[in-house]
Chain A
Amino acid sequence: MLDKNGIAKRIAKEVKDGFYVNLGIGIPTLVANFVRDDIEVEFQSENGVLGMGPFPFEGEEDADIINAGKQTITTLPGASFFDSAMSFSMIRGQHVHLTILGAMEVAENGDIANWKIPGKMVKGMGGAMDLVASAENIIVAMMHTNRAGESKLLKKCSLPLTGVGCVKKIVTNMAVLEVTDQGFKLLERAPGVSVEDIKNATEGTLIINGDIPEMDI
Chain B
Amino acid sequence: MIKKTVNTVQEALDGVEDNMTFMLGGFGLSGIPENAIAELVKRNVKNVTCISNNAGVDDFGLGLLLQKKQIKKMVSSYVGENDEFERQMLSGELDVELIPQGTLAERCRAAQAGFPAIYTPAGYGTEVAEGKETREFDGKMYVLEHAFKAHFAFVKAWKGDEAGNLIFKGTARNFNPVMCGAAKITVAEVEELVPAGELDPNQIHIPGIFVQRIFKGETFEKRIEQRTVRPKK
Contacts and interface: CB of A to CB of B under 8 A. Distances in A.
Contact of B228 (A46, A47, A71, A84): A71
9 contacts: A47-B174, A54-B230, A63-B224, A66-B27, A72-B224, A83-B168, A83-B176, A126-B78, A129-B103
B101 A46 contact: yes
B171 A164 contact: no
Contacts, number: 183
Contact of B123 (A85, A123, A133): A133
Nearest to B221: A63
Given A61-B227, A62-B170, A130 B100 contact: yes
A87 interface: yes
B79 interface: yes
B47 interface: no
Contacts of A124: 76-80, 98
Interface stretch (B11-19, B36-44, B125-133): B125-133
A143 interface: no
A58 interface: yes
Given A71-B228, A83-B177, A83-B205, 13 more contacts: A63-B30, A64-B158, A66-B224, A70-B27, A84-B175, A85-B108, A88-B105, A122-B96, A125-B78, A125-B100, A128-B100, A134-B122, A164-B126
A26 interface: no
A57 B229 contact: yes
Interface string A152-187: 000000001111100000000000000000000000
Closest 3 CB pairs of A and B: A88-B102, A130-B102, A164-B125
B170 A133 contact: no
Contacts of B178: 83-85
A53 B170 CA distance: 13
B4 to A, nearest CB: 20
Interface string A50-68: 0000111111111111111
A160 B127 CA distance: 7
B76 A85 contact: no
A69 B226 contact: yes
A162 B123 CA distance: 7
B93 interface: no
Nearest to B103: A130
Contact of B80 (A123, A130, A163): A123
